Amino acid sequence: MRSRMMGAGVYDHGYILGYERLNDHLAADEGPRHRLWRIRAKQIITATGSIERPVSFPNNDIPGVMLASAVRDYAVKFGVATGHKIAVYTNNDDAYRTAINLNEVGVEVPVIVDARVSGGGALAERAKALGIRVENGKAISKVFGKKRVEAIRICEHKDSGKGNEKIECDCIAMSGGWSPVVHLFSHCGGKLKWDEKLALFKPDSSAKPTSHDGLPFVTAVGSANGSLLMQEVLKDAREGCLSVIEAAGGKVKKKSFKVIEQEYENSLQAIWIAPHDADIKKRSKIWLDFQNDVKINDVELAAREGFESVEHAKRYTTLGMATDQGKLSNINGLAVLSSSLGKEIPKVGTTTFRPPYTPISLGSIGGSARDELFQPVRKTPMHDWHENNSAYMEPVGQWRRPFCYPQFGETYAKAVEREINQTRSSLGLLDASTLGKLLVTGPDAGKFLDMLYTNMMSTLKIGKCRYGLMCSENGFLIDDGVVARIDEQTWLCHTTTGGADSIHAHMEEWLQTEWWDWRVYVANVTEQYAQIGVVGPNARKLLEKIGGLDVSREALGFMEWKDGKLGKYDVRIFRISFSGELSYEIAVPAKQGMAFWDELIEAGKEFQVMPYGTEALHVMRAEKGFIMIGDETDGTVIPQDLNLNWAISKKKDDYLGKRAQERSFMVNQNRWKLVGLETLDGSVLPDGAYATADGVNPNGQKSTQGRVTSSYFSPTLKRGIAMGLVMNGPERDGEIIEFPKIDGTVIQAKITSPVFYDPDGEKQNV
């Protein structure tokens, strides 16, 4: 039970935001002021009540014009009189309660102005018995005063020319009826219907918000459902709660309902403009929206200007915008608009109610994301082991990954060289837990992935893996990774470490804005698993030593995966390689990650097992000619620039970026394309260096014909290697180009294939 918490919004799949005010009412500043709760529920009940509407009459913005329920609350709950002489203006019986309460506490009520010719019911008779003057069929035609109410003038509601009595008062308690608070019901697609008798929009029980399985999950009860009398409210709340319990799978015992005796109340009479025939001069002084200063004539002007849609009229006038979200005066404004258009109110409809229901603080949204927690360091299950074993850590997004593991007195370069040599000759371990893991499932998941990736994913067989490229709608390469088919409607998409969150957001954006009706669900499970790369000629021997799954070439071929047990660990083994060596990537539940790592280290001692870091990973992938997002790509590179045409499907009509890649600039024959670069003297090219060409560019600068994207010293080849983008590069194999250095010297390099090591892939396929 959270008594100081508000339902801020209702979203798909039973997701609710709760906004709790913890310390606003306390003098002491202890702990957080506000807290935002994220709640999942099978069924939601909105018992949000209703809001009293104002009455639209001339000069109704003068201080002292208040809602009748507010005047009553001040008097009854807080013992505060909002005036010495309080006039009441109403079109329903509830305002009589205010007059009676005021009379009982000694506040003078000079008059009750009731727009209904027939007047009120039992409450009206009680007011008259107390000696309170009641005027039926009347309206307030003018309010006297500037900085506060001083008096009112009343007249016939239907004929403002009749009767012009001036009555002294210093406050007006007005009541124009009640509007159910339907915001939470509407946030997730709930529809409304017009109740002509009560003059209000209420939830349509036949069009409740539905979850992904098509079943209703939001039920409005009580006055939020359009029941205004106490007997009706209690009955509706009981029936609604019972139906919700049953819908959630509970059992109910239906018992007899006790009838509550209630005083007779006369029907409400809708009043949208008072007096009924108010002229243009009066209409220019009648306020509808007190927050945004919208008047009757503003809405009528919107209709004349052609803003006939309620959404357009809202933006033209600002009626019900910002923090109000239509709570106070939307119904009055809609009625005026419908009258101006000559349409019935239901035909005009309502504006869209958006969360949050009332403003919530940025502090509650940000939560603890401040100071050292603004961007918390993300750690893999093996993070502490890396630090305890002298790993030099580097930031990769919000993660910290081992760059290398230098031994005593060893430079970083020597440590990287040692790690590569050991992995290529025997066995290495890589903590690959940071790689993004996005689970995509649903009946339309295959179709969805076919649109996201340049190649076909829907045809991937269960148990198989496929390398995929992902482009933006502008055709530029934004991510790559291995996709595994889990079952008939589920795929696991691996992304780059830095791309997990952004690619997840990319998927959700397209699902929510473009393909909103596709039955696809995406979950980011990156941190649910520890993933370890077991790499090198002895990788299979190590796994066979631990025992369990058959990891032979015949049982688990390249680009395949399987679930099972290795020793006592639950594993999913992927037979993929980013190093070019025999390699397995093994995912285990995060809680088992450290124990599994320890077992691999212990069992691998006979093979001189050695962990390797990100720099060794980068060097080995460059030796194999594998691209790296962020190195070979910079936001302007398309797959064709990287010679990855083979990863672009010719069987499907469309994918994100396809049309953009067909633009004239994208198919220009002079685009820079990926090549390998070998320096003639074996040195290492500076990363990012540009290759010069003859002539000058339009700015008078030396022309360029390419640039280095990745450059390393290769311990395997014992010389510098580089990858780069060069104009018409693949067609210029063997050509020598020059790279000037900052010190004025020039390095010459030969254009080669970007695959420097094991070009036929024999090592990874053993």
| Complete DSSP assignment for 138-205 | EEEEEEE-SSS--EEEEEESS-TTS--EEEE-SEEEEE--EEE--HHHHHTT--EEEETTTTEEEE-G
In 3D space, the residue among 398, 447, 440, 433 whose CA is nearest the CA of residue 611 turns out to be 433
Q: Would you give the end-to-end CA distance of the chain in angstroms?
A: 62
**Which residues contact residue 510 at a Cβ distance below 8 angstroms, ignoring those fewer than 6 apart?**
451, 452, 656
Cβ proximity of 414 and 422 under 8 Å = no
Please give the Cα distance from 82 to 14 (Å, whole number): 42
Range 207-210 contact pairs with CB under 8 angstroms and sequence separation of 24 or more: 209/10, 209/185
pLDDT bracket for residue 514 (50, 70, 90): very high
pLDDT value for 372: 81
460-484: pLDDT as tens digits: 999 999 999 999 999 999 999 999 9
10-42: pLDDT as tens digits: 998 899 999 999 988 887 777 888 999 999 999
- Is pLDDT at 120 greater than 80 in this prediction? yes
Question: Which two structure tokens, joined as six digits, stand for 361?
Answer: 């603080």
Check: pTM over 0.85? Answer yes or no: no
Q: Strands, E, within 280-353: which ranges?
A: 287-289, 294-295
Please give the Cα distance from 75 to 81 (Å, whole number): 5
Q: What single DSSP character describes residue 683?
A: P
646-695: pLDDT as tens digits: 999 998 999 999 999 999 999 998 899 999 999 999 999 999 999 999 88
- Is pLDDT at 213 greater than 80 in this prediction? no
pLDDT value for 164: 86
- Among the residue ranges 73-77, 316-320, 531-535, 567-571, the one predicted with the least confidence is 316-320
Quickly count: other Cβ atoms within 10 Å of residue 387's Cβ.
Answer: 14
- Is pLDDT at 766 greater than 90 in this prediction? no
**Which residues contact residue 541 at a Cβ distance below 8 angstroms, ignoring those fewer than 6 apart?**
607
Cβ proximity of 435 and 481 under 8 Å = yes
Cβ proximity of 337 and 348 under 8 Å = yes
In 3D space, the residue among 201, 217, 200, 197 whose CA is nearest the CA of residue 209 turns out to be 217
Please give the Cα distance from 707 to 686 (Å, whole number): 10
Share of the chain above pLDDT 90, in %: 81
- Is pLDDT at 262 greater than 80 in this prediction? no
The SS3 of residue 365 is helix
- Is pLDDT at 91 greater than 90 in this prediction? yes
pLDDT bracket for residue 211 (50, 70, 90): confident
Cβ proximity of 102 and 123 under 8 Å = no
**Which residues contact residue 281 at a Cβ distance below 8 angstroms, ignoring those fewer than 6 apart?**
none
pLDDT value for 27: 76
pLDDT value for 493: 97
In 3D space, the residue among 265, 315, 267, 319 whose CA is nearest the CA of residue 296 turns out to be 319
- Is pLDDT at 618 greater than 80 in this prediction? yes
Question: Which two structure tokens, joined as six digits, stand for 650?
Answer: 């010719």
What are 485's strand-pairing partners?
Answer: 491
pLDDT value for 253: 81
The SS3 of residue 606 is helix
pLDDT value for 131: 96
* List of domains in the chain: 52-178+267-348 (3.50.50.60), 185-247 (no CATH), 383-434+528-620 (3.30.1360.120), 436-527 (3.30.70.1400), 668-752 (2.40.30.110)
CA distances from 378 to 397, 399, 630 (A): 9, 5, 20
282-315: pLDDT as tens digits: 889 999 999 889 999 999 999 999 998 989 999 9
- Is pLDDT at 498 greater than 90 in this prediction? no
**Average model confidence (pLDDT) for the chain?**
93
